[in-house]
Chains A and B, each alone.
Chain A
Amino acid sequence: MTQEIISTLSAHICSEMLKQPQRQLSPDEALISSGVIDSFHLVDLALFVEDTYGVVIDDSELNKDTFDNLNQLVDLIQIRQA
């Protein structure tokens, strides 16, 4: 399940945001602190997560302290789903 979420998120980020559909993100790759995802895309990512996994991410959580890589984002999703 975790693996599946990671690959869905990675595919979405790479194709929709980075426009590099062939690329794959590793689960511990820094996304926000490294500048891979900018603040515009952060909102999109939150909307995608909400729509896909039925969990709510508050705007105050859109920062590197809440999640900076896919592993942390998946943890957040799974905690919310539980």
Chain B
Amino acid sequence: MTKFGIEFVPKEVYWRTTYYAIQAERGGFDNLWITDHFINRNVYVTLSMILAHTNKIIVGTGVTNPYLLSPISTAGAVASLNEIGPGRTICGIGAGDLTTLQQAGVEAIKPLSAMRESINIIRSLTSGNAVQNFEGKVYKIQAANLAFKVRQKIPIYVGAQGPKMLKLAGEVGDGALINASHPQDLENAVRAVKEGALSANKPVDSVDIVAYTSFSVNKDEEKALKAATPVVSFIVAGSPDGILEKHSISLEVAKEIRESLVKGDFLGAFSKVTPEMVDSFAVCGTPDKCIEKVSTILKTGVTQFVVGSPIGGNVRKSINLITKSILPHFKN
């Protein structure tokens, strides 16, 4: 059965995010993902609190990256989380957002190698194996191990967008986190992940393929659109030209949105977002409209659907709407 996940950005105090996590678990979500960005509350502190206040929901970093934190430290962090919620921790890791890494003064060296190597390191350490004399293209580790036993396997999910990273996700990941909301984008991504799995002689259904969508629901379609608009403006501004052209989005308008955001003219940027842009980069609308789009996305072969930011204008009410009007449609 398809799993449903929810993503939270820990931009508020821990207890608000924890409140929503408890609500999501009670409402039937299977997975919960917390974003990792240095401007927000720390992902591991947030996940610790959530694990301590929930019973069954599976949680994960959504996603951390191999540059800002050494994979050795990441292994220790996710292994520690697993002690708070045994068997309920996933390590989600991606190559990282270039803008974020630049802000931190960190160079994203050889992203494919960095990902492959960091996944090897994290998997070895969390499986109880020491990493010794590791001579990678990005990481060189003399001797590292965890001085405590990790009693459950910690799955590693790979955040991926480009075709090479998607294949790597299928090849080495227990799951692939695909940041997309349009069925066509997801269909292509699923194909690439499956190719990666097959190239590693893994059964394609051994990889949890996750549609990590931008989502906004409201009984009033206009309100759903209003909540989705800021998120979509940032997605448009950060998308490569190829992606924009594929969705027939004017490069000129995208440039204007980008420039407005850089200047801090947020209202100017949001005013240029069109319903077509929202349709390309978000699942947005009334519950019925969302059900229709989720159904189409599930046909692409994804095995987990993630309700991502913004979720809705009022997060508490939106979670209630999703768990009462949307999830039952797919879970019953």
On whether the two chains bind one another, the answer is no
Residues of chain B touching chain A, judged by Cβ–Cβ distance below 8 Å, are none
